[in-house]
Homo-oligomer: A and B are copies of this chain.
Amino acid sequence: MKYELYYWPGIQGRGEFIRLALEDAGADYVDVARRPKGIEAMMVQMKRNGIFACPFLRAGSTVVAQTALILHYLGPRLGLAPKSEKARLWLHQQQLTISDWLVEAHDTHHPVGSGLYYEDQKAEAARRAQDFRRQRLPKFLAHFERLERPKGFTYLDLSLFQMIEGLRYAFPRTMQRLRYPRLAALHDKVAARPRLAGYLASERRIAFNRQGIFRHYPELDSG
């Protein structure tokens, strides 16, 4: 199966969670919006399929949006999900908690409106980021730190790698202060997977930057 991934070019964002799964599995895929006229093609597909926001994936005649759902769909096809239906639902549930976590990470720099610049909401961002660093981030980390994951390797492991990677980029001081040894070990194990290591070193891996979901503003990383 040849997959088509549709997501904003230029940022890792939500699309990266899908890229990591496709890359780790060595899947045959096109990152459509990074090609010439790709964004126009993306807009056409979104309208046609009643999709509120990217990323979305096309696999033959199937079109799936919503990051966690795309992974739920891809997981079994890429060998990144457990066999039983019950275990797959559980995995999807945990991935949805990652989606919630990701929104909160994003809103640290955009607590007022995603259509406004960070510079127009710096005061609000300072307060939201403080709450995130002190209350929410430790709570999410503790949840996944103690979670008993399935034995086999899954897309949840890839997503947890990406969360740790992104949070360390955005909040280096905070992440150095917090303790999450099991997640840190998982992060390193994932980064060393041969295909994934190749991807991370390639030009296909977009660098973190100040247009993405994880952004490093030193003033949001204190205290």
Contacts and interface: CB of A to CB of B under 8 A. Distances in A.
Contacts of A94: 50
Chain A binding surface SS class: helix
Contact of A65 (B50, B65, B93, B112): B93
B89 A64 contact: yes
Contacts of A69: 89, 92-93, 96
A62 interface: yes
Given A64-B93, A92-B69, A127 B135 contact: no
The copy count of this chain in the complex is 2
A222 interface: no
Interface string A55-79: 0000000101110110001000000
A116 B131 contact: yes
A96 B147 contact: no
A111 interface: yes
Contacts of A107: 107, 111
A180 to B, nearest CB: 15
A127 B121 contact: yes
Given A50-B147, A52-B100, A64-B89, 5 more contacts: A69-B93, A73-B89, A107-B107, A113-B131, A115-B131
